[in-house]
Structure 1
Amino acid sequence: NEMSKKIAKMWEVMSEEDKDAATREELAHLRNRQANKEVGEHRVSATAAQASVLTLQRIQETLQRLTMRTGDEHLLITTRGSNKVYHKPFVFASSNRVVEFFSNAYKEIPADMGYRMDAFMVSGVEGLARMHVQILAQMKKDIAGLIFRKLQESVGNVKVGRMMYLGFEEQITKRFGVVIKNWPLNKFKNPSHVSTKSELELLWHAWDSGVAHFYRMTTQEYSNWLAIASGPAVIQSSDNGQEGRDGSSNGEAATGGQTVPEEGLSSTSGAFKFHRVYLLLPPQV
């Protein structure tokens, strides 16, 4: 515009001393503003949050370039200093090796550590305890969702309403012919009833890796399982000569001593296992 053209012409004819005198005060003011943006305390929460995010992104890019050049590994965790501002904890790990180290050494991933640190900085020990409860609740929800997705995948196009833990054999195995292999915990129960973080992590890794999984039985396997589950008289053999429920030993039936061995399937406690069973037959006359 016309004003900028006039200023440009005036600037061209000015000496270096005049230029310095004309801009010295304004340059000092601009430098102070820049310094305040970088290290000054921000009073406006939105401005502070934006400044944090942008600065941390630049730091992350710098650390990534450093890792590419030198192979150094980094972990950066930044949280709020108070509840006056809000932004999520910023967690940057330069590689999966860093995450694995903290998982093995401290039994916690950096992301969880970030949320714990944020809770402590804002609310102290009380906030840390609340955050721990929230983390456990989210883990339970994620695991339940993962198991349900695996169940739906195992039955194909058949629609499953929900995963049933109580009455699993009747509601899931009997209806869909599905059992569970390699349930990792001592007891089969809903993830919402698991109380420790270590057990929840074990559950998650078992299902996420595929070690624990649903198995859809063949027609013959399902027939065998159904006969065992609904039959009036079934006992499990004992390999060490222990007595069965009827007092007989080595799995021998007490009703006339007749046994018919066959391979069977069981989904007791949600676990899938092969064992030898004996069908109790009426005594011969």
Structure 2
Amino acid sequence: MSQTPSDEPPLPEPDTSNIRRYPNQARKQHAAPARMEYRHRTKNRNTAKPTPAEVAAQAAKRQENKEKHQKALEVAGKKTWKIAEGLSEELGDHPLAYYSNFLMQQSKISDSTRKTNKWNAFLSKEIKALNEDKENSGGMRERAGNFSAELSARWANMTPEEQDEAVKDQIEELDQRRENKKYAPHNVSISSFHDSRATLEKVERELKALHQRTGVEILFSAVRGDQSDFLAPHTWSTDEKLEDFFQMTFGMEFGRFTGKLESYVLSGLSGVKKKAYEDLMDLKNKVSTLIFEKFEEAARPFVVKKMNYENFDNVATRKLALVIDHWPLPAFQAPGKFNTIAELRTLHNAWHNGHARFRRLSQDELARWEQEKLTQHQPEPPVGIAGPSATVDALMQPPASDDAQPAAGTSRTFETAFPASDTPADNAAKKPRKVRKDAGTKRGPNARTRRDKVV
């Protein structure tokens, strides 16, 4: 039965886009069929169930084999790396990573070769001659597939002796071409690009199938990790709305973001930033250790476990009679709270050179320090009432001799340990409460009392 043009099935559209939209649920004939089982396995119920001891023995054997394989692979990897190091030192024309990648890619090359096929040699010879005539006449080059049927008929009509005579020279040329391809310089960058391209295409096919099965939306990008690589920035998504979301959220197209990502990866700024952060943390640790060592030395014969910066007055000065001379920075705090290299280096140099140091107070200096702290805590007398503050101030003034004066540059902690806002006001006169106008007036029952009486 002949078919009319209207009965012919439509030709499939070429799949030129990686983005596939959801099928229309109303068109049932286009809905994807449900997944069906294609294998049926019958469970063997005659086998005896293994005992716990046998299960444990099998698990131990698997673990032993796994460790054995892992150790063998580690040894092989170390040997490969040593071979790459030897090649890099011996030849010196490429870095170590070049030879390492080259050796790893050799595993995908076939170690066995087939004999050159006479039909391939005949086809190559005839197409080469035909293209030479085309080039001389100014025509376009022809492909082998366009004349394979015609040449195949000619090849089938030839005897074995005629076939051997026709391709004798061409087989030698193909063998030389194969040897040249085998021993020609291997371009690692091109091989890496083709490996990346093939792997990304495979990943895209798998993700597309996953999206069609489960409806998962996926957006990813791939950039090269080295300047010598040939892979251009590549993006892929299951739906355009993912890229639209990226545009609305970050204010740039996803492709432009991928280009910026490639620039960031190639620039190496991540390593510089990480190194700067590590240097800052190392300097903080170094300064903290240095100050604590000085604190331990000054506190002897007492044993201290840590340096308390926030409560230095009570822990170090009041108990151990220690103060700090010539603290170099305006803020007295732990080195871990400084976040600039300049401040930490200033602090380290001051303690390392001996400019900043701990000093033990004498009994008189400690008594005057305690008196100053007590004075800072005393509240001022009310306005209009003469108090003994003048007399106390006069008595608390230290003598004019230089020996009685505290050393300049003492610890900043006890100089500003009790600001004016922390001055206690327990002894201040309290304002009396205002007397109510209806004080002493008898009040009647409330609504709840009246309701109870009615009941």
TM-score by length of 2: 0.30
Give the number of the structure whose residues are more often strand, by fraction: 1
Larger radius of gyration: 2
Q: TM-score, normalised by structure 1?
A: 0.46
